[in-house]
């Protein structure tokens, strides 16, 4: 039976930690000559522009011996009215897996419902599970463990925050999210994480409260792609949620700083912090490659 990766909760705690550990092995060069995707073609269906997601998947698939086929919705029949269901059924006859990067999670879910090959969510408005895999790989590299690590997420309770909540639930991390009123993460995801996994997830208003004694401080853009309407008003509400050197003083002295990129320097994070000694931002970006290779190995048989 095919397995999809639409959200972090699609895998078990053991499967998640296994993926992270396998990614670390791949990064070290273990099994460098192993090519499990020889003869396989992977579709990349992207409604949104991309740097890290597209390049990391294309390079990772090539390194595993496969080939990619980039699918712009405007350049296939979906753009002329073919249904998502019909497109998914047809592409499943040609491809071994499909990565989708879409505006709405409903598109990913509908595609996966009708596809007969594994579907990977490369980003939707509700979840960004591939990013969370790379985030926790980076935390494990820098902190040496996941369980009990204190993570502070500062900013918009967006798709990245939702996936981070699910990842924290599977691994026993402690997660505090500081968000302005009206910009909290998905309440159902938080309730599920707390209920099933007894997760230590808290949502607060003041960034200082979340950052206090944190092992990791994480932020993302204040305005996500496709949500630019009303951006100026939103930015005003977030002006006190910047990751800067003063805020980091509240965290542990060896705090690790993360940002999933792209970053709007001077808005959600300062140059001083992003380029400073605490930053693991570019290690985090590199780790997208290794975690996605581990994920492809896991899903494609």
4 is catalytic: no
Task: Answer yes or no: 22 catalytic.
Answer: no
Q: Does the annotation count 220 as an active-site position?
A: yes
> Where is 5: in which H helix or E strand?
none
215 carries an active-site annotation: no
Query: Which one is catalytic: 22, 105, 127, 128?
Result: 128
Q: Point out the catalytic residue in the list 4, 179, 215, 260.
A: 260
Please say if 128 is a catalytic residue: yes
52, 54, 101, 105: the catalytic one is 101
Catalytic residue among 4, 125, 135, 220: 220
User: Which is catalytic among the residues 125, 127, 130, 131?
Assistant: 131
Q: Is the peptide bond before 262 cis (omega within 30 degrees of 0)?
A: yes
Catalytic residue flag (residue 101):
yes
Choose among 216, 210, 169, 213: nearest CA to 189: 169
Instruction: Name 135's Cβ contacts closer than 8 Å, sequence gap at least 6.
Output: 164, 167, 218, 258, 260, 284
Q: What is the DSSP letter of 216?
A: E
Q: Taking the mean position of all CA atoms in its chain, how far away is CA 71?
A: 21
Q: In what order do the strands lie in the sheet with 150-154?
A: 201-204, 174-178, 150-154, 216-219, 256-259
Look up residue 266 and give its DSSP letter: T
Q: Could you say which of 54, 105, 150, 288 is catalytic?
A: 288
Q: Which residues pair with 44 in a beta bridge?
A: 70, 99
Residues that are catalytic: 101, 128, 131, 220, 260, 288
């Amino acid at each position: 039976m095919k397995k999809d990766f639409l959200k972090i909760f699609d895998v078990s705690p053991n499967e998640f930690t296994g993926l992270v550990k396998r990614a670390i092995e791949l990064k070290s060069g273990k099994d460098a000559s192993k090519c499990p995707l020889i003869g396989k073609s992977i579709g990349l269906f992207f409604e949104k522009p991309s740097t890290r997601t597209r390049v990391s998947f294309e390079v990772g698939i090539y390194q595993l011996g496969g080939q990619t086929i980039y699918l712009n919705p405007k350049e296939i029949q979906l753009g002329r009215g073919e249904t998502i269901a019909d497109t998914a059924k047809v592409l499943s006859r040609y491809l071994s897996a499909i990565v989708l990067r879409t505006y709405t999670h409903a598109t990913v879910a509908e595609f996966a419902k009708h596809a007969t090959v594994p579907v990977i969510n490369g980003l939707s408005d509700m979840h960004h599970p591939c990013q969370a895999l790379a985030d926790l790989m980076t935390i494990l590299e820098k902190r040496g463990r996941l369980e009990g690590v204190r993570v502070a997420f500062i900013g918009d309770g967006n798709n990245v925050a939702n996936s981070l909540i699910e990842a924290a639930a599977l691994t026993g991390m402690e997660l505090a999210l500081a968000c302005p009123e009206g910009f909290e993460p998905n309440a159902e995801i938080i309730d599920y994480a707390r209920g099933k996994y007894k997760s230590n997830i808290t949502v607060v208003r003041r960034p200082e409260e979340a950052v206090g004694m944190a092992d990791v401080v994480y932020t993302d853009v204040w305005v996500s792609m496709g949500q630019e309407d009303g951006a100026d008003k939103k930015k005003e509400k977030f002006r006190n949620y910047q990751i800067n050197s003063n805020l980091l003083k509240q965290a542990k002295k060896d705090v690790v700083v993360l940002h999933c990129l792209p970053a709007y320097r001077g808005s959600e994070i300062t140059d001083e912090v992003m380029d400073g000694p605490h930053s693991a931002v570019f290690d985090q970006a590199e780790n997208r490659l290794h975690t996605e290779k581990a994920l492809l190995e896991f899903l494609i048989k």
